[in-house]
Amino acid sequence: MKKDLHPKDYRLVVFKDMSNDYSFLSRSTVKTKETIVWEDGNEYPVVKLEISHMSHPFYTGKMKLVDSAGRVDKFKNRYKKHYEVRTK
């Protein structure tokens, strides 16, 4: 097995499900600029998730529509000027 294959900079990170405000603390190497104060009073980096096991239809048994088409429309509206220039 290769030496030094796995990262060594694991730290505690809060993962927050934005669809239902569920959060959990875990160890990760993910890089993030945002922080949050956790229940223990300490400040940790936070990663915002669109879906987690608390909101995924497989685990909850409830069907929930994830608005992926809306994100595409927002992107197109934001860059409409650039898009129109290229298509002319």
Map out the domains of the chain as residue ranges.
Answer: 11-87
**Signed CA dihedral, 23, 24, 30, 33: sign only:** positive
* 8-50: pLDDT as tens digits: 889 999 999 887 888 899 999 999 999 999 999 999 999 988 7
Cβ(49)–Cβ(16) below 8 Å: yes
Q: What is the maximum span of the chain, computed from C-alpha positions, in angstroms?
A: 57
Residue 1 pLDDT level (bands cut at 50, 70, 90): confident
* 48-72: pLDDT as tens digits: 887 776 776 555 666 655 555 667 7
Rg value, the chain, Cα: 19
